[in-house]
Homo-oligomer: A and B are copies of this chain.
Amino acid sequence: MQVFYIYLFMNRSSCPIASTLDLIGDRWTMVILRDALFKNFTTYGQFQSAPEGISSNILAARLKNLVNNGIFVKKGDEKNKLIIHYTLTNKGRSLRSVILVVGLWGNQNIPNTDDIVAKIEAAKK
């Protein structure tokens, strides 16, 4: 007997806000996206090095999810076969505006947070 698996993404409702949160609204996904979008991180090791300290099983699960939902694509490194690059798709890159306003709100409303605009500029170099 052959068994097939279907990846099923179920939204809570037809609301675009709730549906987006079903995709990225957990404790870690947007932190991973921050690193991909603003720090140009691509590897498992890089994502794990974030100061927030995501645990390895959760990171693996989130990356799998983001690949399944077309935010990342998995690519092997050209030189080193051990290294896998999680690179953003166009859909993934379109999340930049979302993560950015979240950061700007934090800057203006949560004391002692790092200046996000300065950090982005620094990361470009």
Q: Does A80 contact B (CB under 8 A)?
A: no
CB contacts (< 8 Å) of A109 on chain B: these are: 20, 91, 94
Chain A contact residues: over half helix, strand or loop, or mixed?
helix
Copies of this chain, whole number? 2
CB contacts (< 8 Å) of A110 on chain B: these are: 11, 16, 19-20, 23
Which stretch in A40-48, A59-67, A96-104 binds the other chain? A96-104
Interface size on A, residues (CB 8 A): 43
Asked if B16 contacts A114 (CB within 8 A), the reply is: yes
Residues of A within 8 A of B (CB): 11-21, 23, 25-27, 30-31, 34, 50-53, 91, 94-95, 97-99, 101-110, 112-116
